[in-house]
Amino acid sequence: MNKSPHSEEELLGLISRELPPPSEDVVNGIGDDCAVIRPSGKKGVMELLKTDALVEGIHFASDTPLIRIGWKALCRPLSDIAAMGGTPLHAVVTVAAPSSWGNTEWRALYRGLGKAAREFGVAIVGGETVRSPGPTFISVALTGAVAKQNLRLRSKAKPGDLICVTGKLGGSLKSGRHLRFQPRLAEGKWLAGEHGVTSMMDLSDGLGSDLPKLARASNCSFRIAPDSLPLHRGCSVKEGISDGEDYELLVTVTPTLWPALQGRWSKASPDLPLSPIGLMISPKEFPTILPRGFDHLTPLAS
């Protein structure tokens, strides 16, 4: 019988078994926000590589303005570079579009891509355009770099670390924020320069799906205080946990270093909150029960 993979992780396992073992220069392969490569001949710098795709009917509606789709297509992998503390460098873009597209559609899509490229200092150096007999499909591959000591993996959180998020959560799809979000590149770079930050990840699938991934990668469990979630106006705790597409940073911080870090953050980013929302704990101590049953979580003592 031809079974289906039950989860993204099962699929990744299945895929990885068909591939040759990664070469020695691969610090981090399939499974983190970006692949991390130790380049030969460049000391102290790590290369980042990421690909991300948007499919019409899955990631955007057919009537979404193409300029917004272009923006989102580049900003999504930029958010992954941000989560590694990295600087984006070069992008290649593949577009499969219906043959009905004329100059207007191509221009609008690339105006959105170009806007994001200008804003975040990315060079779009190539790509491919093909005809799609079905939905529009946009794939962006992005390279980046990060100083070795600033690299933040999702596997380095420790029991006892504070869990924090940048910005606010929830309602991204219904508000249209998913089409105009700002990848947290400056913030990711700043946080990666802080000793106290042990791990980072970007919130694309939603806290309820992403935090368990970070926890598993770090062999930890976690406890969230639902009352402490920074929510967008009009959003419930459930929406803040489950909506997804927030593109905020999920960060773990050594608790003793938090007060000083919080002070510096307030000066560096006065307009963007960095909110503690819970604790990483021992994997034995507590099950990872998000996204279902989040209301059964024991609130943190405040």
Of 72-111, which residues contact a second copy (CB under 8 A)?
89-90, 92-94, 96, 101-107, 110-111
Q: Which residues inside 28-57 make contact with a second copy, applying CB under 8 A?
A: 28-31, 34-35, 37, 39, 41-43, 45, 49-53, 55-57
What does the block give as tokens for 187? 């913030």
61 belongs to the binding site for a second copy (CB under 8 A): no
Amino acid identity, residue 271? D
Figure out which of the listed residues 3, 233, 267, 296 binds a second copy, where binding follows CB under 8 A: 3
> Measured from the CB atom, is 107 or 216 closer to a second copy?
107
127 belongs to the binding site for a second copy (CB under 8 A): yes
Measure the CA–CA gap between 212 and 2, rounded to whole angstroms: 28
> Measured from the CB atom, is 43 or 233 closer to a second copy?
43
18 belongs to the binding site for a second copy (CB under 8 A): yes
CB of 36 to a second copy, least distance (A): 8
Say if residue 291 is preceded by a cis peptide, omega within 30 of 0.
yes
Binding part of the chain for a second copy, among 130-138, 154-162, 214-222, 288-296 by CB under 8 A, reads: 130-138
Q: Tokens 């990744």 — which residue?
A: 12
Measure the CA–CA gap between 47 and 34, rounded to whole angstroms: 10
270 belongs to the binding site for a second copy (CB under 8 A): no
Figure out which of the listed residues 38, 64, 114, 158 binds a second copy, where binding follows CB under 8 A: 114
- From first CA to last CA, the distance across the chain in angstroms is 52
What does the block give as tokens for 162? 């504070």
200 belongs to the binding site for a second copy (CB under 8 A): no
**Cβ density class 252-274: b for 16+ within 10 Å, e for less:** bbbeebbeebbeebeeebeebeb
DSSP bridge pairs for 127: 93
